[in-house]
Amino acid sequence: MSIDGGGAAVVVDDDGYDRSKEVKDFDDSKIGVKGLVDSGITSIPRFFVHPPESLPSISGPTTQSPISHDDHRIPIVDLSSVNSDCRSIIVDQINEASRTWGFFQIINHDISLDVIDRTISSIKAFNEQPTEIKSKYYTRDMERGVGFASNFDLFRSKAASWRDSLQLRMGPTPPDFDLIPEICRRELIEWDQQITRLGETLMGILCEGLGLKTDRLKEMTCLEGRTLASHYYPYCPQPDLTVGTKRHTDPGVLTVLLQDQIGGLQVKLGEDWVEVKPLAGALVINIGDILRVEQYYKDTKF
């Protein structure tokens, strides 16, 4: 049943479960999902439980389960010749992958393995600090450009995801660098610098694939708004009841995604969920909703 809580709807189930209170208590504690694990829980809080129909099946290749056959691997594009006479081949490969999949992996992108490893290690180190240290950064207010919380949509979602996230708004106005946790500050600033250069290269290629001049997206300031989101997925005592990240599309122009070697990332092709197996040194590129719209209007004949 619903109870009017002075302008806000508070939902209390017939069994007396008050989800709003449990969510608020969890958020007020500022311990995050990792803090729950560190406390020794053996079952997950109810608001993390997802309905069975939204969970991936593990019983074999159906429309709800991940498939990983050789003919269902997302394309891998080698950027080593991007500034050579072979650029047109790379443009065609990325254009085809973007239209067919909306995803592709890139290799030989000039971001070293050392930078990649240090970025991942620094995020891991931040999340594995004692709760009393991390809680100083716990906030949902991104006004200052830095936020650390469990599920930024915690109070809006029907079911929470099993993860903690550190988010930085790097552009157009970067945050005060002193607000970035010192344990990962240098690594994340360096990562943003590297990704900005790579993003300009990729957007140029995507423009050429759409038949636009190379700098079109840059002129539209699509490189200026940059958000760095790092997600940490701790051990879960009941992994069959929840997910690390819900199915979604990304709202921007493109996402450069760095995954570790553990795996778990899936993308949708038609009605199938396809596992994106980690490839050492590779980055996953996700075409965002804004570019999808641009692509649609370029392809549609009126």
Q: Which two tokens stand for residue 151?
A: 């599920």
Q: Where are the domains of the chain?
A: 19-59+76-300
Q: Give the number of other Cβ atoms within 10 Å of residue 85's Cβ.
A: 7
Strands (E), the chain: 2-4, 9-11, 66-67, 76-78, 103-107, 146-149, 164-171, 226-232, 254-257, 266-269, 272-275, 283-287
The residue assigned the tokens 């370029």 is: 298
How far apart (Å, rounded) are the C-alpha atoms in residues 171 and 266?
28
**What pLDDT score does 298 carry?**
56
> Per residue in 258-291, pLDDT tens?
999 888 899 988 888 899 999 999 999 999 988 8
pTM score of the predicted model = 0.86
> Per residue in 185-212, pLDDT tens?
999 999 999 999 999 999 999 999 999 9
> Per residue in 46-104, pLDDT tens?
999 999 988 875 433 434 444 444 445 899 999 999 999 999 999 999 999 999 999 99
Strand pairing partners for 257? 284
Q: Which two tokens stand for residue 70?
A: 């050789």
| CATH class for the region spanning 19-59+76-300 | mainly beta
Buried b (16+ CB within 10 A) or exposed e, 213-240: ebebbbeeebbeebebebebbbebeeee
